[in-house]
A = this chain, B = another copy of it.
């Protein structure tokens, strides 16, 4: 047979999904599995935005503009204005999820062999997009000890090479939940300006910040040429399946280049654009409910984790993830063991080993990511399971 491509062979499988067969096997044995492994919110998609699709009169479901419907882009100008971000509809391109926005950024701005500096742990799919684009991710390690704050700027400067082309951050962060401060954002901005780097900013979790609000990279002064913001409605409105995101930049050349990639794929999903547009019209206090719910979950999760002997979990400022350090030998083994060999009152939990979120080999072996996308009762039950599991796990280290 003809050979598979080299990039296809190098393409990493999803580290989150590789445990799925073990979860399925556990369920077949009748064990209830609490899914804290994946960022799929349980919160209902607002009926009003689904109703907008249901009520739409669509004689022909036509291609939209390659940048998305202009009416939707104009609405998004209003949405971003409420977040203090001033944009024109010509700065906004609607994409198939945040995923496609990241791809457009990589393809439009980076050559094969170019380097993107990313604080680790980071969203694992960045590896996949980098592999597709032939781009190298250069990780800068952040530390659980200070809650995964931005590593010192000097550690970025130390890894700069002639191939360095961009810094990529996620704020609030997936997988750490860390919320970058204004000072950290400004320091990153200065660094990008000084070394003529792009600043790619994944702001999927903007609305979920619990200790102040997330500063958008688009709010940094004098960085219009540098900043490319990647956004998505997936988490914001519990609409992950819609596949609607946005590629946002005030750099016209970058926008026009990304537009050529957008034109090749014709247009973003049409039905879901109606849903996205309707979401902008949700009441101003819409996020209060989900935010309070996530915050209560975070508080319960983090409190319970830190009560377990040998466990440390910093309190995340945003998103709906936490990374905890556990007294275990190997998080991959532990997460598999939870599904394969453990149960507590007929229940267990599924976690994401943090190893998949580090670019540096060997890191994350004592850490797991927990997504608090289940209700309080389920989180409590999952924590009961974890506490029991840590007592029983043969690879416990202390």
A interface list, Cβ under 8 A from B:
1-2, 4-9, 11-14, 17, 40-45, 50, 53-54, 58-64, 66, 96-97, 99-100, 103, 107-112, 114, 125, 128-129, 132, 134, 165-166, 196-198, 225-226, 238-243, 251, 253-254, 257-258, 260-261, 263-272, 275
| A7–B113 CA distance with the chains assembled, in angstroms | 12
Shortest CB distance A323–B (Å): 21
Contact pick for A132, options B100, B107, B125, CB 8 Å:
B107
A253/B64 in contact, CB under 8 A: no
| A261–B129 CA distance with the chains assembled, in angstroms | 8
Shortest CB distance A374–B (Å): 12
A13/B260 in contact, CB under 8 A: yes
A128/B251 in contact, CB under 8 A: no
A241/B62 in contact, CB under 8 A: yes
Contact pick for A272, options B2, B17, B64, B269, CB 8 Å:
B269
Name the B residues within 8 Å of A50 (CB-CB).
58, 61
Name which residue of chain B comes closest to A224, CB basis.
B1
Shortest CB distance A211–B (Å): 27
| A272–B243 CA distance with the chains assembled, in angstroms | 10
A107/B264 in contact, CB under 8 A: no
A109/B5 in contact, CB under 8 A: yes
A2/B260 in contact, CB under 8 A: no
Question: Given A8-B107, A62-B241, A14 and B100 touching (CB < 8 A)?
Answer: no
Contact pick for A40, options B6, B59, B62, B225, CB 8 Å:
B62
Question: Given A14-B264, A269-B269, A253 and B62 touching (CB < 8 A)?
Answer: no
Q: Which of A50, A103, A197, A243 has the most CB of B within 10 A?
A: A243
Q: List 8 other contacts, CB 8 Å, given A61-B242, A61-B275.
A: A1-B196, A2-B226, A11-B107, A40-B60, A45-B58, A61-B239, A242-B269, A243-B269
Name which residue of chain B comes closest to A64, CB basis.
B241
Contact pick for A53, options B9, B53, B99, CB 8 Å:
B53
A109/B4 in contact, CB under 8 A: yes
Shortest CB distance A38–B (Å): 8
Name the B residues within 8 Å of A165 (CB-CB).
2
B61/A264 in contact, CB under 8 A: no
Name which residue of chain B comes closest to A59, CB basis.
B44
Name the B residues within 8 Å of A11 (CB-CB).
107, 257, 260-261, 264
Q: Which of A40, A63, A253 has the most CB of B within 10 A?
A: A63
A269/B96 in contact, CB under 8 A: yes
| A67–B242 CA distance with the chains assembled, in angstroms | 15
Name the B residues within 8 Å of A270 (CB-CB).
241-243, 272
Name which residue of chain B comes closest to A266, CB basis.
B99
Shortest CB distance A368–B (Å): 20
A44/B17 in contact, CB under 8 A: no
Shortest CB distance A137–B (Å): 13
Shortest CB distance A264–B (Å): 3
| A266–B234 CA distance with the chains assembled, in angstroms | 11
- Interface pairs A-B: 9 shortest CB-CB: A241-B270, A128-B264, A1-B225, A8-B257, A269-B269, A99-B265, A11-B260, A14-B263, A61-B241
Name the B residues within 8 Å of A129 (CB-CB).
264
